[in-house]
Structure 1
Amino acid sequence: MQLFPTRTAAHLSIAAISVAGVGLIAREPAIVGWGGAMLLAMALARAVTLVSVSRIRAAGFEMLWSGPRRVVRTGRGSTIEIEAEVRNRDTLAARYVRLRPIASSQLQITIEPSAGEVMASGRLKVKVCVHAPRVGQHGVHGLALEVHGAPGLFEVPLTFANPFGVEVLPRPFAAWLPSPRGGRSKLLASSGRPGRARGEGSDLRELREHRPGDPFRRIAWKASARRGNLLVRDFEREERDVVWVVLDASVELWAGPLGRAPLDLAIDEAASICARYLSRGDRVGLAVYASTVRAFVLPDQGPAHGQKLAHLLVTATGTHDASRSDLDEADVAVRVLEHLRPLDARGLSDLRRGDLDRLASRADAVRPRAPFAPPAPEGRSPRERTLRRYLAAYGIESPARAEAERHESGFTLAEVLAQIVKSKPKPSVVHVVAPAPSEIAQEKPVMDALRRLSRHSASVTWSMPQFDPALLPPWDPPTRADGSPSEEVADGSRRAAWEEAAGVAAEAVLVRTRVAVRRSETVLRRLGVRVTKIRATTTKRPDVADPNAT
């Protein structure tokens, strides 16, 4: 238990020390005794505060979440309210000056009331408002209550470790949250408008030129005689589309403001495509890739399949794996230790410092109490996988690594597209949600895979995140190790020259980026790929495609 002095206590302590110092200089015992008495009173107030707070904790001061559920699901960008209850089982009232959440940094939380009083043997209802700007499985680990001791000279934070899970799904899938998952819903899942594809049927699709392999019974003899070329009748058969959505989840796409990063927008775009085709009764498959294939789900239909795709968009884009996280094993162990200490019955007092094996064993024993049950993330050892799984289970964030991986993701995309070409049933629509390949070495295998899709009569659309110069990091002037300006920008003239050079460099980066994007768009359009832009602004119904996209 830690006690923190208030501003009043700090002022009184400074005054007491000053009075005692003046008395020593003046050689006046009365003044020294007065200052010493003030310091003794401060020590007694600290002891009284410690005893009173210990009494509150021993009497059963606790926090509970209202309702039986420990996990709530919501759509990205929405705000939900969670009710909690603070109980005071002591015979004395407890006044608190601040109530703050202990939660993932991916959530924005406000609490009402943030200050107040819990009556003796009473209960206080607390409303926790959670705003979720980013998809993922995030944790609200508990609340911290700062209690004033007598007579308001010290504050004691009381931490209530009571984990609560918030699963944030992509915004277009918010309508799928209350959907049924079985029974009659499976019978109704196939309803919708069917698509049309070439094949044996009664409806004429078009007259086209004869190609090797076309049967003679389809030759339109009269039309061929009029044109002077062999023409073949193509018929239509009613068939639902087989749609594949391919999403690039490279770690550098998480860079940007919370909720406005390129991957935030790309996940919403992929979810919008999935929801649109699922509502028509089409079969939808999903592939998530980065430097490796992170998810590959065969096409299916219905609300239950939509729930599965939404869950994969949340979990497969995470950064708890060792290859995608900026935390090494020691950093992960520190986070596990800090979170596990209030949950452990002994407060980890019997755990030796640096004993990661026992820490992993203790964390694995507590993990069933977590709100989420994720699979073990990638790790360099079984112990590291156990520790990383603890972070994922309790919704503790793991920052994305700083090194880029898109130099490998282009080759992975080519492998994913080649696997889609070989899959059955054959794809009729393929949506790639990713930036264009950034290197010539990556472009060739990707373009070859796109040509194979075109030969199989699949319609391909490539959705690119729209480049926003406002999301670029600022060009800060160079500084020394102590944070002071370096010699290059010490005086005004040098600083102005540096700012001018930085502006030219920034403009060069913007021009180079725009040229690379336009070149990629040109190459894709030559292959018959429809290119669209993912815009940061959303329509009233995010599941509807932007008709102005080009």
Structure 2
Amino acid sequence: MPTRTARLLFLLGASLSVVGIAMSSAVVAVLAAICFLLLGVALAMTMPLGRRVRRCQLEFAWWLAPTAAGGAVVPGAPFEVRCFVRHRANFPVHLTQLDPIVPGGTTIVDDRPRTLLLSPGVRTEFQLLMTAPAVGRIVLHGMAVAVRDPWGMFDVPLYFPNPLVIKVLPRVAAFSRTMPRATGGLPVERRGRIQQRRRGGGTELYELRELVPGDPFRSIAWKASARVGKLMVKEVEEEVQRTRWIIVDVGGSMRGGTPGHTRLDRAIERAAVETRGALDSGDRIGLLTVDGRIIRQVKAKDDRAQLIRVFDALVSATEIVDEDLTDIDDEALVATVGRYLQRQDGVDFSQRGNGAWDVPRLVRYIGRQIPKDAPSPEANSSPMSNLRSYCKARGIPLPYRADPPLGAKAKGLADALRAAVLSDRAPSEFLILSDLDGITDFSPLVDATRLLRRHGHSVVFEIPVADTAQTTDDTSATPPSLADDLRIVYSRMERRTIHQAERTLGRVGATVVHERPHASIPRHGQRAA
């Protein structure tokens, strides 16, 4: 790649050639030939420079520096990546380009060094300052550099693959400087600051009432029944630790918009705030992520590691690669991984002539790079599952399924409610974070909510609201009038969904909340509620 000096020298040679021909001057023609000769010699001596640098083992490494935000990387807060380059050869190397390969949405603060002069045998360090737009995993794939020749004529591009995985946690993690209080001992010692009373256990009398079908035989109060002349039932109650459940809808309708401004981003932040508040209060907290089916379940607990478990499940919700939840077939998946390996590792598994890929060799190659404890994504075969697991490990995004099957969202949320109740029958509070988009038949949710309310559970549906100014990526490119019309349409659809949910779910005792933008989510520099 020619530098500015080389381009100027080329223009000078071309100008001298034109002048020499026009004036029939041999001296000017010789000067033009000298310019082109210098360029040719510089190019010939520059071409092996890249191989020489690689042969001398130019080392590159980077790592995440400790941050001030409680050691956590959170959206919108700058974080520092420290880098070092070591040159082992006996000649200096001039790097004129330092471009880290980062995923879309991640911003590099433009204060990184433009050039580096590497002295022989010396380790050179520098820093990169970045910001992440949303919760998830960032994979820095490597560093693209350019090595300039000693004459400053040409730059030789080089790429150093060195994947660095950075986990971006919800904003509340920046304020979690201390872990939740330790729990242990007897159940009475594990109660939070707020207890709930549960009927059917304990020794405290709750009420005497007339027997109804379904009451257990052992609960009949025989002395009271003899006094009033009819069968009476004695109900007792006890104080138990409160349990909270959070159900997060991670479907395609929750993902629309720019990173950091989607409904899913707001639901994740809201779930993190609720989790932190529950653990600080000494309550038990559990989480389920859902899209037509239960994707992940975190059992309700109140120990020190529960916050980490919930954060990990929320981060995993942003990088789903299962076959039934993504919109990519096997052929496109193989091509995506194959092209990535060509750029990243410099290996080619394509078959010359027919455009196909050597899938068995490709799968064997990536199998050595997949963590052994990595869960296997849903797929129609083991090789395709390995490919999807590799995409997740390397941060290769797969297109998410836009529209779920008809009725899948309501059924998935209802199944999650039942699964939470079956895992813990103590009185619980359920918070469902979903846009309820596309639900035409609320019957599964109504039945599940009615069952929960009969057993004394409270149910709250909270509809996250995306930033309407950032609802679509193309809004900024449309005329203002069209952008305003889009916002009006989205607002009307949200109001219609809220009204239908309030009317349908409210009849069975559920509460429907329309979340206000930026409510209850701490920003960088603010204190958590």
TM over 0.5: yes
Q: CA–CA distance in 2 between the matches of 1:160 and 1:218? A: 82
Match of 1:112 in 2: 112
The range that moved more, 465-474 or 269-278, is 465-474
Q: What whole-Å deviation, never above 9, does each CA across 1:63-100 have from its counterpart, x for those lacking one? A: 1236999xx96344443323221112222332222312
Task: Name the counterpart of 2:513.
Answer: 532
Alpha carbons of structure 1 residues 107 and 204: separation in structure 2 relative to 1, 3 Å: farther
Q: Which amino acid in structure 1 is aligned with residue 374 of structure 2? A: P
Aligned position for 1:523: 504
What is aligned with 2:87? Answer: 88
Greater Cα shift, 384-393 or 332-341? 332-341
Contact conserved, 2:319 with 2:397, CA < 8 A, in 1? no
SS in 2 for 1:520: helix
Q: Which residue pairs with 2:360 in the alignment?
A: 357
Give distance in 1, aligned partners of 2:211 and 2:429. Answer: 24
DSSP 3-state at the match of 2:498: helix
1:435 matched to 2:416? The reply is no
Residue type of the alignment partner of 2:270: E
SS of match in other structure, 1:145:
strand
Which residue is 1:6 aligned to? 3
**Alpha-carbon contact 1:242-1:425 (below 8 Å) kept:** no
Summarize deviations over 1:92-128 as a string: whole Å, max 9, x none. Answer: 3322223121122253334633433222321211113
What amino acid does structure 2 have at the position aligned with 1:420?
Answer: A
Shift of 1:477: 9.1
What do residues 394-425 of structure 1 show as CA deviations (whole Å, max 9, x unaligned)?
A: 23333434445685222221222233344442
Instruction: Tell me how far apart the structure 2 counterparts of residues 281 and 249 of structure 1 sit (CA, whole Å).
Output: 27
Higher mean displacement: 209-218 or 374-383: 209-218
For the 8 Å contact 1:185–1:302, the answer to whether it is kept is: yes
Between the aligned partners of 1:457 and 1:305, the Cα distance in structure 2 is 25
Shift of 1:360: 1.8
User: What TM-score do the two structures reach when normalised by structure 1?
Assistant: 0.78
- Paired AA for residue 237 in structure 1: E
Please tell me whether residue 383 in structure 1 is matched to residue 383 in structure 2.
Answer: yes
1:274 aligns with 2:264: no
Aligned to 2:250: 249
What residue number does 2:464 align with?
Answer: 465
- Is the contact between residue 522 and residue 528 of structure 2 (CA under 8 Å) also seen in structure 1? no
Are 1:293 and 2:311 an aligned pair?
Answer: no
Q: Tell me, yes or no, if the aligned pair for 1:249 and 1:263 is still in contact at 8 Å.
A: yes
- CA separation of 1:502 and 1:470: change in aligned 2, threshold 3 A: closer
* CA distance in 2 between partners of 1:217 and 1:255 (Å): 58
* Residue pair 1:142, 1:159 contacting (<8 A) in 2 also: yes
Asked if 1 retains the 8 angstrom alpha-carbon contact of 2:220 and 2:232, the reply is: no
The answer to whether the Cα contact below 8 Å between 2:498 and 2:512 also exists between their aligned partners in 1 is: no
Q: CA deviation at 1:529?
A: 1.5
Report the Cα distance in structure 2 between the residues aligned to 1:5 and 1:23, rounded to whole angstroms: 25
Shift of the alpha carbon at 1:450?
Answer: 0.9
Mapped partners of 1:242, 1:161: distance in 2: 46
Contact preservation (8 Å) 1:253, 1:263: yes
Q: Which residue of 2 aligns with 1:16?
A: 13
Q: CA separation in 2, counterparts of 1:68 and 1:139?
A: 15
Query: Please, what is the CA RMSD of the aligned residues?
Result: 4.1
- Superimposed CA distance per residue, residues 487-523 of structure 1 (whole angstroms, 9 cap, x where no aligned partner): xxxxxxxxxxx98788667645543442332232333
- CA contact under 8 A between 2:248 and 2:432: conserved in structure 1? yes
Aligned CA distance change for structure 1 residues 321 and 457 (closer, same or farther; 3 Å): same
Relative to structure 1, the CA distance from residue 68 to residue 15 in structure 2 (aligned partners, 3 Å threshold; closer, same or farther) is: closer
- 3-state SS of paired residue (1:246): strand
Matches for 1:412-451 after TM superposition, within 5 Å? 412-436=412-436, 438-441=438-441, 443-451=442-450
Q: Which moved more, 1:508-517 or 1:526-535?
A: 508-517
Query: 1:263 is paired with a residue of what secondary structure?
Result: helix
TM value normalised by structure 2: 0.81
Q: Distance in 2 between matches of 1:155 and 1:37?
A: 21
In the other structure, the counterpart of 1:139 is 139
In structure 2, how many angstroms separate the alpha carbons of the residues matched to 1:294 and 1:22?
74
Identity of aligned residues (%): 27
Q: Which amino acid aligns with 2:514?
A: K
Residue 55 (str. 1) matches residue 52 (str. 2)? yes
Looking at structure 2, the residues matched to 477 and 51 of structure 1 have their Cα atoms a distance apart, in angstroms, of 45
| Cα gap change, 1:500 to 1:139, in 2 (>3 Å) | closer
How many residues end up aligned between the 2 structures? 507
| Match of residue 43 from structure 1 | 40
What CA distance in whole angstroms lies between the structure 2 residues aligned with 1:81 and 1:499?
A: 38
Residue 286 of structure 1 and its aligned partner are, at CA, apart by 1.9
Aligned counterparts, 1:465-484, within 5 A: 465-466=464-465, 468-473=467-472
CA distance in 2, matches of 1:108, 1:311: 23
Tell me how far 1:302 sits from its aligned partner: 0.8
Aligned to 1:484: none
Deviates more, 1:123-132 or 1:32-41: 32-41
Gaps of 5+ in 1: 479-497
Distance 2:139 2:476 in 1: 34
- Report if the CA contact (8 A) 1:13-1:39 is conserved: yes
- The CA deviation at 1:389 is 1.4
Q: Distance in 2 between matches of 1:177 and 1:187?
A: 25
Work out whether residues 83 and 128 of structure 1, in 8 Å CA contact, stay in contact via their aligned partners in 2.
yes
The Cα shift of 1:475 comes to: 6.2
> Structure 2 regions of 5+ residues with no counterpart?
none
